[in-house]
Structure formats: structure tokens, C-alpha cells
Amino acid sequence: MKKITVKVNNPTGLHARPASLLVKEASKFKSSIFLTKNNKDFNAKSIINVMAMGAVNGDEIILKVEGEDEDIALISIKNFIEGFEE
């Protein structure tokens, strides 16, 4: 398992559109991908989970990835969360 802390970089946080794009990106990978906020895990492949997390701009969340493609998945999701700007 790999894990890192990432900072949400989107003026509106992970609301509907960025959340759906994040889920789409996460779903490309075989690995399990979870986001942790306030000690609660959220499945990054579930739109309901990502939106329920309520991440806003500037939040620091923990990205946890486990599986056969965890290295590339970690980089891809990290870059998405930290680089997404609407």
C-alpha cells in the first residue's frame, strides 16, 4: 500500500463535476483507491463517497492506493487532485 497527503486545488472543492472526473480517473486502475478525510475513508471509485467526503479547496486529504498498479495510480490521482482547476 502506498499513501500520501494531497491538497485539494479547486476553488469549488470536489463538488459534482470534479468528483465525477476523479471517479472516472480512479476507475481506470485495478488498485483499490481510498481518500481519507477526518479519519474516515472514502472510496475514490464511488461518486457518492467522493461527494460525501465534502472536500473543499485547500483541504489536505490522505490518498491511499493498494494493488498491482498502485504506483501509477497514486501519481495519476495525486496529480488530478492537486492540479484540477475549473
Copy the grid coordinates of residue 66.
Answer: 493498494
The residues annotated with a catalytic role in the active site are 15
Q: Say if residues 65 and 35 touch (Cβ distance below 8 Å).
A: no
44 contacts 8 by C-beta, under 8 angstroms: no
